[in-house]
């Protein structure tokens, strides 16, 4: 990545979700940022203009298995595009104007250290330049999405089952609200468990 150093590609559920720009060596908070992502099963990918050996050393230090060394700034847009072509939803974390090409190639772009930026062509701008903040934002978004899907399933499956049972004549219609109650209790239980895990 030229003067900036190294970029960490971030994947959610096996799909690329972003890039974290790192300076040569380990940027303060980089390991914690990667851990935020790993905690929510986001698979980071390290993309860097650095030589393979440097990239491998950074990958080991950050606990990142997937590496893409020797990717120049000019090639980053294509690299992000290739990941998007696999069906992944791509989010790029970077700095403007240096990472504008990669940011522009992503479905979601998060700009670090953008306090005072008046551009509105990014999905999100962070005043902070701390990669932990960007990684935490991705982790929270992933956790929220996962919880939302789980809650919807817990609410809808019992109701659909109740409708099928009543439609098949196995139970009278008066029992249908019980299915909704079961779904609501299961969803509430899931929320309580999620809060306990987050605490």
pLDDT for 98-124, tens place per residue?
888 888 898 888 888 887 777 778 888
d(CA 1, CA 80): 14
User: Six-digit token pair at 165?
Assistant: 């049972």
* DSSP string for 100-167: HHHHHHSSEEEESS-TT-----SSEE-S---HHHHHHHHHHHHHHHHHHHHHHHHHHHHHHHHHHHHH
Report residue 10 CA to chain centroid gap: 7
Which SS3 state, helix, strand or coil, does residue 45 take?
Answer: strand
Domains and CATH numbers, the chain: 6-141 (3.40.50.1000), 145-198 (no CATH)
pLDDT of residue 13: 86
- Predicted model pTM: 0.68
The upper half-sphere exposure of residue 170, i.e. CA atoms within 13 Å in the direction of its Cβ, equals 7
Supply the DSSP symbol for 31. Answer: H
CA distance 108 to 104: 8
State whether residue 42 is helix, strand or coil: strand
pLDDT confidence of residue 19: 82
Looking at residue 43, its pLDDT comes to 81
User: Exposure string (b/e) for 148-165, b if CB count within 10 Å is 16 or more?
Assistant: eebbeebbeebbeebeeb
Residue 6 in 3-state DSSP? Answer: strand
Q: What is the pLDDT of residue 2?
A: 34
For residue 85, the 8-state DSSP code is H
Specify the pLDDT at position 198. Answer: 67
pLDDT of residue 193: 81
pLDDT confidence of residue 191? 81
List, run by run, the mean pLDDT of 10-residue segments along the chain (199 residues).
59 84 75 90 82 88 90 90 86 84 87 81 86 87 87 90 90 86 87 75
């Amino acid at each position: 990545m030229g003067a900036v150093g190294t970029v960490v590609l971030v994947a959610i559920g096996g799909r690329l979700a972003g890039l974290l720009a790192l300076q040569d060596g380990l940027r303060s908070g980089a390991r914690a940022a990667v851990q935020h992502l790993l905690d929510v099963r986001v698979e980071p990918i390290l993309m860097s203009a650095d030589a393979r050996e440097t990239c491998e050393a950074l990958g080991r230090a950050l606990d990142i298995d997937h590496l893409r060394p020797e990717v120049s700034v000019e090639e980053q847009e294509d690299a992000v595009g290739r990941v998007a072509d696999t069906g992944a939803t791509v989010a790029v974390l970077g700095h403007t104007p240096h990472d504008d090409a990669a940011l522009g190639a992503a479905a979601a772009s998060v700009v670090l250290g953008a306090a005072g930026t008046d551009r509105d062509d990014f999905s999100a701008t962070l005043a902070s330049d701390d990669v932990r903040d960007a990684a935490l934002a991705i982790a929270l978004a992933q956790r929220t999405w996962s919880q939302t899907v789980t809650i919807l399933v817990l609410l809808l499956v019992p109701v659909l089952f109740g409708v099928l049972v009543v439609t098949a004549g196995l139970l009278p219609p008066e029992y249908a609200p019980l299915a909704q109650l079961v779904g609501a209790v299961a969803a509430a239980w899931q929320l309580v468990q999620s809060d306990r895990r987050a605490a």
